[in-house]
Amino acid sequence: MTATYRQPGVVLTDRRFTVPLDHDDPAGETIELYAREVVAGDRAQQNLPWLVYLQGGPGFGANRFVGRPAWLGRALKEYRVLLLDQRGTGHSTPANRQTLPLRGGPAEQADYLARFRADSIVRDCEAIRPAVTGGAPWTVLGQSFGGFCTVNYLSTAPEGLSAAIITGGLPSLDAHADDVYRAAYPRIERKVTAHYARYPQDVERARRIADHLLSHEVVLPNGYRLTAEAFQSLGIVLGGGEGSHRLHFLLEHAFVRTAQGMALSDAFQEEVQGLLSYAGHPLYALVHEAIYGQDGRPTAWSAERVRAEFPQFDAAKALAGDGPLLFTGETIHPWMFDCDPALRPLRETAELLAARTDWAPLYDPARLAANEVPTAAAIYHDDMYVDTAHSLATARTIRGLRTWVTDEFEHDGVRASGPRVLDRLLSLARDEV
């Protein structure tokens, strides 16, 4: 049943679609996709072009906006917007510790999840586009991993696109996961150094918390085992525009005096578990490194292996000296599947995905070199999540791509900037600036 309802200034419609699990077997098993159509209230009866939004991740459902915030208000000036929950996320057929056992054991679960990368998401888009637009091409807005999907779209089905807008999501076309993380750890260190320069009092606070975790077993209220490494992974917030401030406010109320001595406060633990738990987005942990698999080599817990090449990130070694504790960033590690109760039942599945070698190439350099789709991309200088050099190299391979390289925003610029980022990129794609 299709439901239509209103929020301030917008009309929303819930839309559901059935697509093949494996698009190479259209007569086989199917899954459901959910998307929310959004149109400006005063334009609800007009025949407008479509913009489909591909969320970052992988593993996150589309933004749940109220009204017309962030980039959405700009888009609604001229588009109907489709906020797609990519397969396995949001209201689309879920993939998590509760549902994956329905597939069978870890081997069957891994085979299932191998179909949850950018190539399948793009084929989902093409499967539903005729029902949404009547067959007309649409504009795609890809944020972060959504940008990876957009480059796959340009590689495999450019006829479905009237324009492509990418924010913080131009991937390397050929880098192995090891290359991605060798480039990432120095960027992460720069972000942590900048945080401590802004908030020098956090150097001692972070060391004190890590020292406590190395000598105490701490289990958060949701069952998450908070280790020193898990605490370091809070550095993922430093990739956002307000991330440094959020981390500072978190650290400043970490301890409370109790009858048994100093302990991590309930307020601190509650906030930390919300930041670290993968209960709401387990696919992020399960298939994150798989989004880089293309060349027949396993990803093999790349972030964990490559981290060993950067000993300055070792918490125990940092605390044995007088240097600062380094936080980490957008990295997935095997210990997460021991610490997080939402991931523990999926540890063997994750191991099988890490060992997989049959990943198909995601991008077609020859087709990108012949691109005719108007395309524009925001590249955030020293983006913590996506390497700037990789993005620029890819930009040079996509014919006609207009780039906007800026250090005004972090990775979440399309959200944090209000209408500005989307407005500029639309102008670039239309050759108006």
- CB distance 107 to 352 below 8 Å: yes
From CA 354, how far away is CA 298, in angstroms rounded?
6
Instruction: State the pairing for strand pair 138-143/50-54.
Output: parallel
The answer, yes or no, to whether residue 234 has pLDDT greater than 90, is yes
| Phi, psi torsion values for 194, nearest 5 degrees | -65, -35
Q: What is the mean pLDDT of residues 357-361?
A: 96
- Catalytic (active-site) positions: 144, 358, 411
Report whether pLDDT(10) > 60.
yes
- The mean predicted confidence, pLDDT, of the chain is 97
Q: pLDDT at position 271, please?
A: 97
* pLDDT for 1 beyond 90: no
Q: What mean pLDDT do residues 1-28 have?
A: 94
Q: What is the mean pLDDT of residues 387-399?
A: 98
Dihedral, 276, 282, 288, 291 alpha carbons, nearest 10 = -160
Q: Is 181 exposed, middle or buried (0-12, 13-18, 19+ CB in 10 A)?
A: buried
Q: Is the pLDDT of residue 433 over 90?
A: no
pLDDT band at 215 (very low <50, low <70, confident <90, very high): very high
What is the mean predicted confidence (pLDDT) over 148-174?
98
Q: pLDDT, tens digit, for every residue of 16-72?
A: 999 999 999 999 999 999 999 999 999 999 999 999 999 999 999 999 999 999 999
How many Cα atoms occupy the beta-carbon half-sphere of 406 within 13 Å? Answer: 18
State the DSSP string of 277-344. Answer: --TT-HHHHHHTGGGG--SS----SHHHHHHTT-GGG-HHHHHHSSSPPPP--S---TTHHHH-TTTG
169 neighbors 132 (Cβ within 8 angstroms)? no
Distance CA 109, CA 328 (A): 29
249: nearest Cα among 272, 227, 228: 272
CA separation for the pair 310, 232 (Å, rounded): 14
pTM score over 0.95: yes
Residue 63 contacts residue 55 (beta carbons within 8 Å): yes
Q: How far is CA 316 from the centre of its chain?
A: 29
Q: How much of the chain exceeds pLDDT 70, in percent?
A: 100
pLDDT digits (tens, 9 = 90+) for 288-341: 999 999 998 999 999 999 999 999 999 999 999 998 999 999 999 999 999 999
pLDDT of residue 2: 76
Gap between the terminal Cα atoms of the chain: 44
Residue 156 to residues 118, 120, 163, 360, 387, Cα–Cα distance (Å): 11, 11, 15, 13, 24
Helices within 157-252 (DSSP H only): 177-198, 201-215, 228-232, 243-251
Two tokens at 255? 């301890």
Which domains are present in the chain? 4-174+363-429 (3.40.50.1820), 177-355 (no CATH)
* 266 contacts 42 by C-beta, under 8 angstroms: no
pLDDT at 186: 97
Buried b or exposed e, range 146-160, using 16+ CB within 10 angstroms: bbbbbbbbbbbebeb
Evaluate if residue 105 carries a pLDDT over 90: yes
